[in-house]
Amino acid sequence: MTDIERRIEAVPVKHRSMYRKALAGELSPRAAIKVKCYDCVGWERWARTLDGQRIDNIGDCSVRGCPLWAVRPFRMARQSSQGLEAGTSVTELAGVEGGDGPGL
């Protein structure tokens, strides 16, 4: 079994088709980012804190250093609560000048 086949086997069945399409380059960049974010959070979008509050593992992602953070799915509610505009660029978020941006 190859490394890629092992990775595919580790993906929950309900996400496996999209994962295969992402690997084959058959998804839009936006859809491929969504698959990557699901992969990153262990394929579980929702979690609960110890006091029972529901957390959106992707929309509420706090890894601001991730190159996908500014374009991750389900981020709109999070950005609204932080007072950020939906079109805020990566360089604006990072506080750096110039750069090519993600180009998505």
Nearer to ligand SF4, 8 or 90 (CB): 90
Minimum gap (Å) between residue 83 Cβ and ligand SF4: 19
Instruction: Give the Cα separation of 1 and 15 in Å (integer).
Output: 20
- At position 61, the amino acid (one-letter code) is C
Angle of CA points 104, 37, 17, to nearest 5°: 95
Under the binding rule (CB under 6 A), the answer on residue 35 touching ligand SF4 is no
Under the binding rule (CB under 6 A), the answer on residue 40 touching ligand SF4 is yes
Under the binding rule (CB under 6 A), the answer on residue 90 touching ligand SF4 is no
Closest CA to 8 of 26, 28, 29, 23: 23
- Give the footprint of ligand SF4 on this chain (CB under 6 A): 36-37, 40-41, 58, 61, 63, 66, 68-69, 72
